[in-house]
Structure 1
């Protein structure tokens, strides 16, 4: 008969788990007496008397020493699993729009990193079962730690982006609790040194650091550097054609040739545009004057900064006004469009010059996206009932109103910001107006500094071209009207 006990139950470890050996070979580990009996029963010894020192040897405590707290352990494992799975879903939802449809490679890379972090966190959630269980795998703790570090980095980044504006967003109800959870989870894993099972912990830490650094650099490049340096320009042309006499009326038909070409690297959304033809009248003097007082009076009375020695009191009267595009139209890179507009002018007109002003306001597609379906619909503010819905800001009465949601080019910004809306209004007499603000659907007054910041963030710019022609030159081929 051997003097060595048949069954040996080792002292509890720091979690309360006791290793069990039978005949010198490890048979498993047990949290409690019922679990010990299941191990022995599985080995074909269901009737072992655990209180018999000749059969069972207890080290570091007797058969009543079971310090495991299953409720606390199960609760921690449940919270860890729930947090990892919630963070995985959140990262996949945030990253997928950029990974699948971003305009630039850097933005797609950022989205892909967020999407790829989801399976890492899901794998960590599966490793929780082993790490808070018998720990059969040596790397289960490190896997859980990697998942929690990924969640901490993502949730911390979202929180930092949110603090920049501190606006309400539904995602705040998700990533704010997850941020608190990640701090607790990281503290718990660091406290128990969960990386102990990794063969090369320094290489593991270096890999985590490099991954986090690449993610941060990709985000900074995609949200700040690349949209700033990418070239963007539009070429506009406006010129008068050859006038033709109207056979039935004492008018001439004047063609106006307009063209727009996107010479930039990215597509743009048309926010609003306008072209207006003006007829100029003035008072002429052979002696003339070029004094400062005359120039000041011209500005005060007519708002005209132009100065000529023999011309005074310059005035411009609008003759024809229209739009080249409807708001919301997408103008692709390299696309060129042309249009000819014809307006009427009396043969014996009093105007000496014709002046055309073509201006176009656009938003860069690499900076944001517009809800074209909503923004492309015109709403007349003077119609009954419509003004209450679409004219909640000052200055849109008597104008066509266009309103639609606008999103940033990076979904990380979208989920940490409140909703933004682009507003454009147009009137044939007063020209276009536009703005981007979160307040157009609430009636709250928008701050001018904030509107300016929004316009810069979305890359909203205005380009214009002006052209003049002498009426004498325009009508030189038109026969003079016969005296009545």
Structure 2
């Protein structure tokens, strides 16, 4: 070493790291004297080299006692940065994977894959953060970390914006709200450290990040808002009576009834509730004018038409049933037919018959239901020691209950859980269905005010999930069924 020192320790940089060169070639860097000895051993210097001997080691910007690195502060800051990136990776994967592999539309799947891709970038950025907060052996780790933080800030800001629209509590809020504050802190720290330095074209990098964020936002808005609203659900229902057949032995009329449903639109439809009912009507008739003020008001109160010669009609349920059942669905072009035969005595005394057929439908591009919804519960049976509805309150009722989920998983993490209850009740006079949506799986109103608030909430959720009721009916005079018998007599 007569020619002078071959080991040069450079001045500390802004973080306290000192570069080390041997013979003019940089061989490493160190945070401490111990790190310096480790680097020197790796290039062949003896363990007992006296680093304080200026004949062998040249110190610039401070001697062997100058190591300004704050180890714990650096490690805690680096760990905080890595934890935030990993947390963002997990959250984005949780949001994106269900849509990427289970969404019904192409746009929704693309939105899901975008979140999965963003989550992968967060994972890569977490690995890059280890080097960026360390000795920065790789040139572009700072830019990769900056990209990860920008994606985190953009996605968590989007989640918070969507949450503020409704301000409903969801457990996911405890993830993306702290992560939003973390991303603001991380961005400020990276800007102070000049994380973009070393990029050949930093302006293009910024433009690429902005374009990616804009594309993801537009795709999300299209898949979550525009597409599920622009295309209507077209489910056509028909109900009709067939040709009556007189029993050759008994005084009975066999009346066929045909029900048919077909999806003539482009959007798949899921059945939330369905029912058909067969009614027999008998009305008081008089040749004199019957439609006075009293009768007119009675008809209006019962939701019936006002008739000049008849009063309010008495109705009786002759038969009722399900068509396809809750949870079934119709893809575009799907159709289903159900036929049954109504048996009536010839002297039943009805004036006319009616078949009523209706469904409550949810568009499948807006939501889905958990599998528990497919299992019916009975109001008169205890399940695990609990009645789903007291018989004296609900009567004889079949109940289907399950968790509703938006098809776009971003909405699931920014909205509170919603549960749907679909009931079908049979009583001696009428059969009817009722669909109720609530944020509680077992909601029972305590008073009228709570019931009114629950009904308002249910109406809002029904509109949000695109649930609507469609129905049809057919009528026939009862006397027309007896006409063939009269001709044979």
- With structure 1 as the length reference, what TM-score do the two structures score? 0.91
- The answer to whether 1:8 aligns with 2:15 is no
- The answer to whether 1:468 aligns with 2:475 is yes
Gap change, CA 1:474 and 1:80, over 3 Å in 2: same
Superposition pairs for residues 368-383 of structure 1, below 5 Å? 368-372=367-371, 374-383=372-381
Q: Which deviates the most, 213-222 or 344-353? A: 344-353
Q: Which deviates the most, 260-269 or 1-10? A: 1-10
Gap change, CA 1:175 and 1:394, over 3 Å in 2: farther
1:54 deviation in Å? 4.2
Q: Distance in 1 between matches of 2:193 and 2:422?
A: 58
Gap change, CA 1:410 and 1:392, over 3 Å in 2: farther
Q: Distance in 1 between matches of 2:217 and 2:111?
A: 9
Q: Does the Cα contact within 8 Å between 2:379 and 2:391 map onto a contact in 1?
A: no
User: Residue 320 of structure 1 corresponds to which residue in structure 2?
Assistant: 319
Question: SS at the partner of 1:288?
Answer: coil
Superposition pairs for residues 87-98 of structure 1, below 5 Å? 87-98=88-99
Superposition pairs for residues 62-81 of structure 1, below 5 Å? 62-81=63-82
Q: Distance in 2 between matches of 1:280 and 1:51?
A: 110
Q: Deviations over 1:262-296 (max 9, x none)?
A: 11212222111122222222233334355555422
Q: Distance in 2 between matches of 1:313 and 1:82?
A: 72
1:104 deviation in Å? 1.0
Gap change, CA 1:330 and 1:279, over 3 Å in 2: same
Superposition pairs for residues 147-186 of structure 1, below 5 Å? 147-186=148-187
Q: Distance in 2 between matches of 1:179 and 1:441?
A: 34
User: Residue 132 of structure 1 corresponds to which residue in structure 2?
Assistant: 133
User: Residue 453 of structure 1 corresponds to which residue in structure 2?
Assistant: 460
Q: Distance in 2 between matches of 1:196 and 1:378?
A: 63
Structure 1 residue runs of 4 or more that deviate by more than 6 Å after TM superposition:
1-4
User: Residue 285 of structure 1 corresponds to which residue in structure 2?
Assistant: 286
User: Residue 269 of structure 1 corresponds to which residue in structure 2?
Assistant: 270
Q: Which runs of 5 or more residues in structure 2 are unaligned?
A: none
Q: Does the Cα contact within 8 Å between 2:100 and 2:110 map onto a contact in 1?
A: yes
Question: SS at the partner of 1:237?
Answer: strand
Q: Distance in 1 between matches of 2:287 and 2:392?
A: 47
User: Residue 401 of structure 2 corresponds to which residue in structure 1?
Assistant: 403
Question: SS at the partner of 2:279?
Answer: strand
1:227 deviation in Å? 0.4
Question: SS at the partner of 1:156?
Answer: helix
Q: Does the Cα contact within 8 Å between 1:73 and 1:132 map onto a contact in 2?
A: yes
User: Residue 22 of structure 2 corresponds to which residue in structure 1?
Assistant: 22
User: Residue 363 of structure 1 corresponds to which residue in structure 2?
Assistant: 362
Gap change, CA 1:402 and 1:39, over 3 Å in 2: closer
Q: Distance in 2 between matches of 1:453 and 1:436?
A: 9
1:427 deviation in Å? 1.9
1:72 deviation in Å? 1.5
Q: Distance in 2 between matches of 1:26 and 1:420?
A: 61
Superposition pairs for residues 189-338 of structure 1, below 5 Å? 189-288=190-289, 291-300=292-301, 303-338=302-337
Question: SS at the partner of 1:432?
Answer: strand
User: Residue 435 of structure 2 corresponds to which residue in structure 1?
Assistant: 434
Question: SS at the partner of 1:478?
Answer: helix
Q: Does the Cα contact within 8 Å between 2:253 and 2:481 map onto a contact in 1?
A: no
Q: Does the Cα contact within 8 Å between 1:380 and 1:386 map onto a contact in 2?
A: no
What is the CA RMSD across the aligned residues, in angstroms? 2.6
Question: SS at the partner of 2:80?
Answer: helix
Question: SS at the partner of 2:432?
Answer: coil
1:385 deviation in Å? 5.6
Q: Does the Cα contact within 8 Å between 2:369 and 2:405 map onto a contact in 1?
A: yes
Gap change, CA 1:284 and 1:85, over 3 Å in 2: same
Q: Does the Cα contact within 8 Å between 2:394 and 2:425 map onto a contact in 1?
A: no
Q: Distance in 2 between matches of 1:368 and 1:420?
A: 11
Q: Which deviates the most, 469-478 or 170-179? A: 170-179
Question: SS at the partner of 2:284?
Answer: strand
Gap change, CA 1:343 and 1:387, over 3 Å in 2: farther
Q: Which deviates the most, 170-179 or 428-437? A: 170-179
Gap change, CA 1:363 and 1:162, over 3 Å in 2: same
Gap change, CA 1:276 and 1:23, over 3 Å in 2: closer
Q: Deviations over 1:63-108 (max 9, x none)?
A: 2111011222122222222222232122122211101111111110
1:186 deviation in Å? 2.0
Q: Distance in 1 between matches of 2:292 and 2:392?
A: 39
User: Residue 424 of structure 1 corresponds to which residue in structure 2?
Assistant: 422
Q: Does the Cα contact within 8 Å between 2:125 and 2:144 map onto a contact in 1?
A: yes
Q: Does the Cα contact within 8 Å between 1:380 and 1:398 map onto a contact in 2?
A: yes
User: Residue 349 of structure 2 corresponds to which residue in structure 1?
Assistant: 350
Q: Which runs of 5 or more residues in structure 1 are unaligned?
A: none
